Amino acid sequence: MALPLPWRIMVPIVAVAVAIGISSFDAAFPGHYLRQLIIGASHPWPSSPAFHVFSQDPVVVYIENLITPAEAAHLVKQAEGRFATSPMWDNEGKPHVDKAYRRSTTARLGTAAEDDVVRAIEARARALPFYKPVGSFMPMVVQNYEVAGLYRDHYDWFDDRHAVGGNIASTFFVYILANCTGGGTNFARLTPPDSDSRWCEWIDCDRPLDEGVTFKPILGNAVYWENLEADGRTLSDRGHQRTLHAGMTVTSGNKLGLNLWTWKPAHD
Amino acid sequence: MSGHWLRSIFVVLLAHIHHTGAILYSGVDEFEAHTKNDGLVVVSFATNVAEWGVPIVTIDCELNAAFCASFDVASYPTIRTFRQSDYARYRGTFKSPAITTHVLQAILPTVTTVEKHNLPVISSLTIPLLLAVLPEDDIASAEELNLVAELLKHKYIVGMTHDTSLHPDLKPVNTELAAAPPPPPYLVVLNVMDEVIPIYSDKFESGRLYAFAKQYQSPQIGRLEFSSLPHYMKSGIPLAVIFAEHETERRSLAASLQVVAAKYRSKVNFATADARKLVFLAEPMGLQPGRFPAFSVQTSEEAFPFDQDEEITGKAIDAFISDVLAAHSLRDREL
């Protein structure tokens, strides 16, 4: 079939856009498509990745296939034997343990220099068109939630960035093991979609409407969000109140989540 | 009757009620208590709808993981209502009255026949019951009610009874209604959130019935609680509060002020408050704590306490509210 000229030009562009998930990518980040294509070539995506922008304010994106099952298995193996009880952090950055509030164990992984998979994932994350590179990644950690494991409502940002020397600007939470029921990632202050929305593939549409949004833990997928309020094209130093989130109780099985945090140093 | 429901709908509870796995965490008691509580909710809900013959199936997703996954079940407890091969998700809270309401709304006819045995369940749902008491052969009134019921589908459960001996069972107990019920046909609104029972005994004509139903969709005299406080604050009109320490006292005072509440319906909200739980609200509302029952009106700027030495009667409160509104509107003009 002979298409008129403009269409013949459009077809390959549309095909590529669909392949990398732009079909469901809101037009809020114009100009990034090309960058995505160029960078994507040097850091190939594992398998048909797609990102779905759930919210613009705060920016919350669900990413399918951010990592491969093989990469996930590698990370699970690396974390083995390194787990210790997860602490909670106060505003001075001091840890304490409260198992009624946070029940999980945490393992710190090797750095990008030490582990090829860590390096590849960091590069891939940095290449995402919506990602704002306001600082460097903190060392990756893995959170292990077994039955009854949970992390109630919390923020990833600190109230006083000066006390801790900076702030956690954005978070990737990647599901590297998801043999579980429950264990979704809940944002209590975001508005859930209807029961028949296409989002129900990634959001648990059986949760009560007044509980906010609960993303499903699916192996290889990730939730990305910006913890700080936007400031034009960059991020401010103000924590975003609607990023309040929780790891819902794991009711059966086991969930392991990889945290990739962007650290924005305090300059003033 | 129940055979029909059997074919048309059934409810599946995809739950994980009993947990038997060895758990090594500390603080797991809370988790187990939670799943146990889910089980109690299911039992209570099942008892509620048993009368209507709704088949309820509970599935332990621990044992039937593949089946649950095929229905896209990612967490517990999950409720699905099935009608033939179609299913609907339930997005309300996991509490027995809310689940019962969800299911009964799906299966009850436009007008439900209410009798002594089903009254307790359908008058304690999360949406109010609009109940018509009709004479046996009053077809004209039944038709008027039908017209209204269609329009009120998602706001009310609409019920009809010929049983005039139901009065003692109507909750909250309305002394006036129990003592001298109007001759049928008449309407009452039974709402678990209302301290009183609004009654309509005028001409049985659909337009008027509809106006009455619309007016009493929200409680005539509600309850002041942490959850309802924002609603009252946002309404923009003064709030009259009846403080009393015991439920029976709150109910009887509310009943004695029902006529006054109706008179000032669009100008003042009325609510009762548990004087023991909400004692910290009494002082800001100009009342001396420890001297209850008491009455006070809160406007957006100030509180107007009713003299705590005086008895709370319909007549005294009517005069008092009239004065408060006059003072309030005078102040508005000065501003």
User: Which of A20-29, A112-121, A159-168, B281-290 is least confident?
Assistant: A20-29
Closest chain B residue to A192, measured at CA: B91
Say yes or no for a CB contact (<8 Å) between A205 and B89. Answer: yes
What pLDDT is recorded for position B61? 77
Q: For residues B225 and B278, give the distance between their C-alpha atoms in angstroms, rounded to a whole number.
A: 8
Residues of chain B found within 8 Å of residue A200, distances taken between Cβ atoms = 72
Show the DSSP H helices in chain A as ranges.
5-19, 32-42, 69-79, 116-127, 161-164
**DSSP-based three-state secondary structure for B21:** coil
- Above 70 in pLDDT, residue B181? yes
Give φ, ψ of A106 to 5 degrees. Answer: -125, 140
Containing structural domain, residue B60: 3-104
- Residue after which a domain boundary falls, among B84, B104, B124: B104
CATH of residue B92's domain is: 3.40.30
- Residue after which a domain boundary falls, among B194, B215, B236: B215
Structural contact between residues A168 and A263, judged by C-beta atoms closer than 8 angstroms = yes
Average pLDDT rounded to a whole number, residues A54-68: 96
What pLDDT is recorded for position B175? 60
Question: Which has more confidence, B329 or B255?
Answer: B255
Question: Which has more confidence, A159 or B118?
Answer: B118
Tokens of B65: 């993981």
Question: Which has more confidence, A196 or A9?
Answer: A196
> B253 with B185, same domain?
no
User: Which of A85-99, B218-232, B292-306 is least confident?
Assistant: A85-99
What pLDDT is recorded for position A100? 86
**DSSP-based three-state secondary structure for B251:** helix
What pLDDT is recorded for position B323? 93
Q: What is the ipTM of this complex?
A: 0.74
- Above 50 in pLDDT, residue B159? yes
> B210 with B261, same domain?
no
CA distance B31 to chain A (A): 6
Name the burial class of residue A5, with classes exposed (0-12), middle (13-18) and buried (19+) by CB atoms within 10 angstroms of its CB: exposed
What pLDDT is recorded for position A229? 96
Give the largest Cα separation in chain B, rounded.
Answer: 71
Write out the residues of chain A at the interface with chain B, using a CB-CB cutoff of 8 A: 99-100, 103, 146-149, 181-184, 192, 195, 200, 204-210, 214, 216, 248-249, 251-252
- Above 50 in pLDDT, residue B87? yes
What pLDDT is recorded for position A34? 37
Say yes or no for a CB contact (<8 Å) between A252 and B16. Answer: yes
> B133 with B200, same domain?
yes
What pLDDT is recorded for position B173? 61
Q: What are the b/e assignments for B230-253, b being 16+ CB within 10 Å?
A: eebeeeebbbbbbbbeeeebbbbb
Q: Can you state the angle between helices B206-215 and B139-151, rounded to 10 degrees?
A: 50
- Above 80 in pLDDT, residue A94? yes
How would residue A24 be classed by pLDDT, with cut points 50, 70 and 90? very low
Query: Highest-confidence range of A214-223, B42-51, B67-76, B86-95, by mean pLDDT?
Result: A214-223
Task: Give me the CATH topology for the region A5-265.
Answer: Jelly Rolls (2.60.120)
- Above 60 in pLDDT, residue A188? yes
How would residue A4 be classed by pLDDT, with cut points 50, 70 and 90? very low
What pLDDT is recorded for position B172? 65
How would residue B302 be classed by pLDDT, with cut points 50, 70 and 90? confident
What pLDDT is recorded for position A30? 37
Residue matched to tokens 């319909």: B314
- Above 70 in pLDDT, residue A5? no
- Above 60 in pLDDT, residue B285? yes
pTM over cut 0.90: no
Q: Which pLDDT tens digit goes with each residue over B105-135?
A: 988 999 999 999 999 999 999 999 999 999 9
Q: Could you state, in order of their start, the residue ranges of all structural domains in chain A?
A: 5-265
How would residue A3 be classed by pLDDT, with cut points 50, 70 and 90? very low
- Mutation pick from A180, A206, A213 vs chain B, by most beta carbons of B within 10 Å, is A206
Average pLDDT rounded to a whole number, residues A138-155: 95
What pLDDT is recorded for position B236? 87
What proportions of chain A, in percent to the nearest 5, are helix, strand and coil? 25, 35, 40
Rounded to the nearest 10°, the torsion over CA B172, B176, B177, B179 is: 120
Question: Which has more confidence, B165 or B246?
Answer: B246
| Count of the separate structural domains present in chain B | 3
Q: For residues A251 and A197, give the distance between their C-alpha atoms in angstroms, rounded to a whole number.
A: 25
- Above 50 in pLDDT, residue B5? no
Q: Can you state the angle between helices A69-79 and A116-127, rounded to 10 degrees?
A: 130
Q: What percent of chain A has pLDDT over 70?
A: 82
Residues of chain B found within 8 Å of residue A204, distances taken between Cβ atoms = 74-75
> B41 with B91, same domain?
yes
What pLDDT is recorded for position B207? 96
Name the burial class of residue A240, with classes exposed (0-12), middle (13-18) and buried (19+) by CB atoms within 10 angstroms of its CB: buried
- Above 90 in pLDDT, residue A84? yes
- For all residues of chain A together, what is the average pLDDT? 84
Average pLDDT rounded to a whole number, residues B154-179: 79
How would residue B178 be classed by pLDDT, with cut points 50, 70 and 90? low
CATH of residue B323's domain is: 3.40.30.10
> B173 with B232, same domain?
no
> B267 with B330, same domain?
yes
For residue B294, give every residue at least 6 positions away whose Cβ sits within 8 Å of its Cβ, in sequence order, or none: B243, B244, B275, B282, B287, B288, B305, B306, B308, B312
What pLDDT is recorded for position B13? 63
What pLDDT is recorded for position B16? 52
Closest by Cβ to A208, choosing from B16, B72, B93? B93
Average pLDDT rounded to a whole number, residues B3-30: 44
User: Which of A160-169, A210-219, A229-238, B253-262 is least confident?
Assistant: A160-169
Give φ, ψ of A174 to 5 degrees. Answer: -105, 130
The closest alpha carbon to A92, from A154, A164, A165, A157, belongs to A164
- Above 50 in pLDDT, residue B192? yes
Structural contact between residues B221 and B201, judged by C-beta atoms closer than 8 angstroms = no
Average pLDDT rounded to a whole number, residues A163-171: 91
- Residue after which a domain boundary falls, among B48, B81, B104: B104
The closest alpha carbon to A84, from A147, A144, A138, belongs to A144
Q: Which pLDDT tens digit goes with each residue over A196-233?
A: 899 999 999 999 999 999 999 999 999 999 999 999 88
Say yes or no for a CB contact (<8 Å) between A208 and B92. Answer: yes
What pLDDT is recorded for position A19? 35
- For all residues of chain B together, what is the average pLDDT? 84
Question: Which has more confidence, B18 or A232?
Answer: A232
- Above 70 in pLDDT, residue A61? yes
- Mutation pick from B75, B94, B95, B101 vs chain A, by most beta carbons of A within 10 Å, is B75
What pLDDT is recorded for position B233? 86
**DSSP-based three-state secondary structure for A32:** helix
